Structure 1
Amino acid sequence: MSTLSHEQAEQLIQLFADRYIRKDYAAFIDLFAEDIVFEFPYAQEPNPKRLEGKAALKEYLEKLGKVLEITSFTAPIIHVAAGAPVFFAQFGASGKNLVSGRPYEQSYISVVEVQDGRIVRYQDYWNPLA
């Protein structure tokens, strides 16, 4: 098990945010391992709680892009786990719900595991009421 530097974690989450906002989903997906496990522990029906693999993540992003537009992320606060390739990121997002037209404001805590420079597991904790 390798460790992860604060700089590596910071760079990865910055690429994550930049590519997502630019809607460069091909480059965004490239941040993840083929067998990525992406989890949403607080998701409510009909939203998925777990995605497995890049194809499932891509399909999810395409659907999400039709209902939600995120226009900015706040600067993340990053905590790197000691002796493990895992980091925690706290950040906010602003945007618009494309269905209702209402503003979207969200706070996130993400637990991210990295292997060989790619994200292998991403746990996305967010407020489902937002």
Structure 2
Amino acid sequence: MNTLSYDQAKQLIHLFADHYIHKDYAAFFNLFADDVVFEFPYAQEPNPKRLDGKAALQQYLEKLGKVLEITSFTTPVIHIAAGAPVFFAQFEASGKNMATGRPYEQSYISVVEVQDGRIVRYQDYWNPLA
């Protein structure tokens, strides 16, 4: 089984945040494997709990971008899984709810699995009430 270094995880989550904030979607989607599985365990209807593939992720983010603008992420706290290509990232995001104009403040814990330098599974744990 492959392992992942702290520096690799740090670089990957930095690029994830940077590309997303700067709306560099081509570079953002290049971080993911074509068959990526993106999960939202705490999602409530009508939001999906799982997206299969890069195309589904792209469609989801296009819809999300119409209702939510994230303008910053905090520096993540990163933990590497022992003996596996998995890391955990804890961070916060700030932005604006586009529908209401109200501030958006969210805490995240993400579980990220990497293969051949690309994200193959991303579990996004966030508070659905924020």
TM-score bucket of the superposed structures, by smaller chain: over 0.9
Pairing 1:1-130 to 2, within 5 Å after superposition: 1-130=1-130
Q: Any idea what SS the aligned residue of 1:66 has?
A: helix
Q: Distance in 1 between matches of 2:30 and 2:124?
A: 18
Deviation of 1:25 (Å): 1.3
Q: Distance in 2 between matches of 1:28 and 1:40?
A: 18
Deviation of 1:96 (Å): 0.1
Q: Under a length normalisation based on structure 2, what TM-score does the superposition of the two structures give?
A: 0.99
Q: Which amino acid in structure 1 is aligned with residue 111 of structure 2?
A: V
Q: Distance in 2 between matches of 1:121 and 1:32?
A: 9
Unaligned runs of 5+ in 1: none
Q: Any idea what SS the aligned residue of 1:48 has?
A: coil
Deviation of 1:24 (Å): 1.1
The aligned length equals 130
- The percentage of aligned residue pairs carrying the same residue is 84
Q: Map Cα deviations across residues 55-103 of structure 1 (whole Å, 9 max, x no partner).
A: 0000011000000000000000000001100000000000000001000
Moved over 2 A (4+): none
Deviation of 1:5 (Å): 0.1
Q: Under a length normalisation based on structure 1, what TM-score does the superposition of the two structures give?
A: 0.99
CA RMSD of aligned residues (A): 0.4
Deviation of 1:26 (Å): 1.4
Deviation of 1:53 (Å): 0.3
Q: Which amino acid in structure 2 is aligned with residue 102 of structure 1?
A: R
Q: Distance in 1 between matches of 2:77 and 2:114?
A: 17
